Amino acid sequence: MATDIMAPVLRLHNSARELADFISLVEHLETLRRTTRPPSTSENAGMNALNSLVPVLAGTAWKRQYYSFIIVQLYSMHERFIRDLVASFARVLGQVFSSYDKLPDRVRKHHLLLTLQHLQELSQNSSGDTTLLQDDVRRLGDCLDGIIQLNESAMSRHTANFRYETIRNILLRLDFEVGPTESDEYFKTFPYGALDGLYATPESVIDELADRRNEVAHGSDFEILDIETLKDIADTVYRFDVWIFRNLSNFQICDLVSREGLSVGSVTHVWKDKETGERSIGQFLQVTAEVSAGAKAYLVGEVIKMCSVKEIQANQEKIKTATPDGGPFGINFDKSIREKYELRLLAAKWSEVESALRDASDEQVKFSFSQG
């Protein structure tokens, strides 16, 4: 389960690193062009070979070539990630819902429509081999019988370019609504670097990337961006995709807690942790199930906050586990809390998917194209 959830973002990290290596090569070649002398008969063949690259590197054709490669690879990385993400989380839905009829209405509606469209396309394009068609029919039959066998190919497929609105519509198939980046701390420094004055939002970068990819793919005339601007665009696309991954993972774990979380008590009073200065210690008069130090936990108020239990006290003494009818307890969390917050836990049967989704919801970019 953990590997399945993380697979799309791990591939994204690897693809981003490969693209960053190519950009580094372009920059090294540009340094070579600026510092290399004209060819000389007195120098060895290797140096003359390097020197002979100077006219090529100084030409417009080379700039068009590396610009085209970067744009196409960046867009391909981005689209592949979104497709992989939807396919992966379509499988996750089969782990966090007990039967097909329990899935959100929006998921079932999209799945049925997209699967029927996919079946029609397969039947029209079949060259005699009906294996894929039969498999899709079988999976759809399983779903209608209550067994979750979502058609990942149909769910992740879209014929339009992956602009921001297209991405929003694709993710709605998972019942996940993407919010604007401007409301997220993750993008509080945008626009940065060479993008300042060129783009208003990360969404506009995503949209223009699709336009630029089309220009290259269709052989249209296009503006060649300098390498610093391309690096900042790559940074934005990479950060955007990781941001989507984190938010979708957070949505899924919070949805699971809202449906399956066991309510074990509510905060009746709050104290400040002297070591951290955070108001993270809550009084619980009683708990309805065991709560142990180190446990993964969730505090439900206006939103659901993931947290962990740092320490538990009873009668001003540290204990390992709070048990029903043994209160009151003082429970210290790794997050600030408020009175009336409800404490929820997930049962042991959810531990694998719970750990995977919590880890995924904290995923970060691994490097910067601009800073190496």
Looking at the structure, do residues 32 and 11 belong to the same domain, yes or no? yes
Residue 256 lies in a domain: no
**Residues whose CB is less than 8 angstroms from the CB of residue 142 and which lie 6 or more positions away in sequence, other chains included:** 148, 149
- The pLDDT of 130-141, averaged and rounded, is 85
Percent of the chain's residues with pLDDT above 90: 72
Cβ contacts of residue 215 below 8 Å, gap of 6+? Answer: 221, 222
Predicted confidence (pLDDT) at residue 127 exceeds the cutoff of 90: no
Identify the band that residue 126 occupies on the pLDDT scale cut at 50, 70 and 90: low
- Residue 48: is its pLDDT beyond 80? no
Closest CA to 169 of 208, 114, 122: 114
Average pLDDT score over residue span 256-272: 96
Query: Which pLDDT score is estimated for 372?
Result: 62
* Two structure tokens written together for 286: 């009683």
Bond into 38 cis (ω within 30) = no
Higher model confidence: residue 59 or residue 186? Answer: 186
- The Cα 81–Cα 86 span in angstroms is 9
Q: Is the residue at 361 inside a domain?
A: no
Does residue 15 register a pLDDT over 80? Answer: yes
Name the pTM for this structure: 0.90
**166 found inside a domain:** yes
Domain that holds residue 22: 2-105+152-250
326/180 same-domain check = no
Residue 143 in any domain: the answer is: no
Torsional sign, CA 20, 247, 361, 353: negative
In a shared domain, residues 75 and 18: yes
296 and 227 housed in the same domain: no
**204 burial type by CB count under 10 A (0-12 exposed, 13-18 middle, 19+ buried):** middle
Domain match, 231 and 268 both: no
Checking if the pLDDT of 136 tops 90, the result is: no
Q: How far apart are CA 203 and CA 244, in angstroms?
A: 12
My answer on whether 177 and 31 are in the same domain is: yes
The answer as to whether 357 is a domain residue is no
C-alpha span between 115 and 117 (Å, rounded): 5
Average the pLDDT over each of 42-46, 173-177, 267-271 and give the range with the smallest value. 42-46
Is 226 in the same domain as 302? no
Same domain as 232, residue 181: yes
Report the number of distinct structural domains present in the chain.
Answer: 2
Last residue of a domain, one of 225, 250, 275: 250
* Residue 54 and residue 203 share a domain: yes
CB 344 within 8 A of CB 257: yes
CATH number assigned to the domain comprising residue 339: 2.40.30.10
